[in-house]
Amino acid sequence: MKFKLKSAAVEIDGNTLTVRQLTHGERFEFSKVARDAKESGDRAATPVFLLTTCALEPKLTPEDISDMPSDLADAALNKIMELSGMADDDSEKKGSRPAS
Contact 83, 8 (CB under 8 A): yes
Model pLDDT for residues 47-90, shown as the tens digit of each residue: 999 999 999 999 999 999 999 999 999 999 999 999 999 987 64
Model pLDDT for residues 9-40, shown as the tens digit of each residue: 999 999 999 999 999 999 999 999 999 999 99
Task: Count up the domains in the chain and report the number.
Answer: 1
Judge whether 1 lies within some domain. Answer: no
pLDDT at position 11 is 96
Name the residue range of residue 35's domain. Answer: 7-98
| DSSP secondary structure, 10-34, as one string | EEETTEEEEEEPPPHHHHHHHHHHH
DSSP 8-state class, residue 98: E
Judge whether 59 lies within some domain. Answer: yes
Among candidate residues 90, 63, 67, 69, the one with its CA nearest the CA of residue 78? 90
Judge whether 83 lies within some domain. Answer: yes
- Residue 85: phi and psi, rounded to 5, are 70, 25
* Residue positions counted in the chain: 100
